Chain A
């Protein structure tokens, strides 16, 4: 099990009902973790519409999770 902190923003924050949580996961990658959380919490965005960041930097979906990582899933952006 890997212990990670997940921060939620925008639609994911509302659907999770939390801004962040620390959890343990068996998912090896960020995409695996998203699918796990999506199944658990009913996130409406499919994994291919969400980007990921670890420790405040963008990472690919194949990024391997490490103990203590801070993970953010990024819904489609809409600044400006």
Chain B
């Protein structure tokens, strides 16, 4: 089974954590990204995620492999949802194990930061007003929050 997955189904957190079970590990650090009800001063009603799955999965595996090398991890697993998600739903889950907590905290942070910056995944916000916007894709004259990063 792959360590990084794009999932159209809700993320099974218990199943993800079970895959990290390791008698040598003294620490498990997890990160959950949730769908939030506001962004950039606007009320958000839901979020739509779209992924270029083959490349997102291969790049996600690359990020996990980098983290394993940099932080002396036991295991690393991550899953990113796609589809139309409601407020409070789980959009991304990252879990890492290590002998000690410092490496696990650092690696978890590394993985989610790199995932946000590198994976070909996009989100469209649906606002209470009925308007929508692809995040980071605005150009001059459009929604001011979408500057390039």
Contacts and interface: CB of A to CB of B under 8 A. Distances in A.
Interface of B is mostly: mixed
A58 B118 CA distance: 11
Contacts of A79: 49, 51, 56, 80, 92, 115-116, 119, 121-123
Contacts of A49: 139, 148
A74 to B, nearest CB: 5
B120 interface: yes
- Assign chain B's interface to a size class: 20 to 34
B124 interface: yes
A78 B52 contact: no
B148 A77 contact: no
A78 B143 CA distance: 15
A9 B148 contact: no
Nearest to A79: B121
27 contacts: A7-B52, A9-B50, A9-B51, A9-B52, A10-B50, A10-B124, A10-B134, A10-B137, A44-B137, A44-B142, A45-B137, A46-B139, A49-B148, A56-B58, A57-B55, A57-B58, A72-B55, A75-B137, A77-B121, A78-B116, A78-B134, A78-B137, A79-B56, A79-B123, A80-B33, A80-B80, A80-B91
